[in-house]
């Protein structure tokens, strides 16, 4: 499947990410063997998770926040205009079906999560990343970039100083 068969949309501008104090800017580093596995990346595989606003970013990390560790930093990133696969579009329904499946349970069983298959398809298509609709809060969405700050990929940079933010745990 190449990018012309997928629902591509153009994105660019300011996006945000909520990070722990002391980790700001680490998200931009690539080739980190210790990068933890997540919905769209294997251990050590590059993926930059961003959101269009603080509310979306809070929802994105809410399940990873525990009482007593709610103080974080909101980091703004400027993303150069690029095309990504939009999993919100009907044309991407099959990919979204893979992406929306739980990823932690298969990983705990030593299996590859279905969302990794979706990410592999997007990577193989040549697209830079994807837009993933929020499963916790319909209407919100997130961006995952698989390539950045390299030839043929958008430039991404920190834009301004970090801003303190308190994130509430989401125990759903």
The answer to whether 46 and 80 are in contact (CB under 8 A) is no
Q: Name the more confident of 113 and 22.
A: 113
Question: What pLDDT shows up at residue 140?
Answer: 95
Both tokens of residue 68?
A: 């007593």
* Residue 101 clears pLDDT 80, i.e. is over it: yes
- Establish if 172 belongs to a structural domain: no
Range of the domain at 32: 3-166
The HSE-up count of residue 168 (CA atoms within 13 Å, CB side) is 5
d(CA 20, CA 124): 32
Instruction: Tell me: pLDDT of 169 over 90.
Output: no
Q: Is 134 inside any structural domain?
A: yes
172 versus 142: the higher-pLDDT residue is: 142
pLDDT tens by residue, 121-165:
999 999 999 999 999 889 999 999 999 999 999 999 999 999 998
**For position 136, what pLDDT does the model report?**
86
Please write the tens of the pLDDT for every residue from 118-133.
Answer: 999 999 999 999 999 9
Closest CA to 121 of 102, 99, 138, 136: 99
Query: Rounded to whole angstroms, how far apart are CA atoms 35 and 54?
Result: 23
Total domain count, the chain: 1
Asked if 58 contacts 155 with a C-beta cutoff of 8 angstroms, the reply is: no
pLDDT score, position 170: 66
Q: Does 10 map to a domain?
A: yes
* Whole-number pLDDT of residue 162: 93
Give yes or no for residue 84 having a pLDDT over 80.
yes
**pLDDT, tens only, 28-82:** 999 999 999 999 999 999 999 999 999 999 888 765 655 556 578 999 999 999 9
* pLDDT tier at 167, thresholds 50, 70, 90: confident
Q: Does residue 171 form part of some domain?
A: no
Strands (E) located in the chain:
8-19, 48-50, 71-86, 129-133, 141-145, 156-158, 163-166
Mean pLDDT of 6-31: 88
Are the beta carbons of 84 and 127 closer than 8 angstroms?
yes
Query: 133: domain CATH number?
Result: 3.90.175
């Amino acid at each position: 499947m190449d990018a012309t068969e997928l629902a591509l949309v153009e994105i660019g501008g300011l996006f945000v990410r909520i990070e722990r104090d002391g980790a700001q800017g680490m998200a931009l580093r690539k080739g980190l063997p210790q990068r933890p596995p997540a919905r769209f990346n294997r251990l050590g595989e590059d993926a930059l998770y961003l959101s269009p606003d603080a509310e979306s970013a809070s929802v994105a990390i809410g399940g990873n926040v525990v009482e007593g560790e709610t103080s974080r930093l909101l980091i703004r990133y400027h993303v150069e205009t690029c095309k990504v696969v939009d999993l919100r579009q009907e044309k991407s329904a099959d990919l979204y079906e893979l992406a929306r499946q739980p990823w932690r349970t298969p990983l705990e069983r030593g299996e590859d999560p279905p969302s990794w298959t979706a990410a592999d398809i997007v990577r193989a298509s040549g697209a830079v990343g994807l837009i993933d609709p929020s499963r916790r809060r319909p209407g919100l969405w997130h961006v995952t970039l698989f390539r950045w700050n390299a030839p043929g990929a958008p430039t991404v940079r920190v834009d301004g100083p970090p801003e303190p933010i308190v994130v509430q745990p989401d125990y759903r």
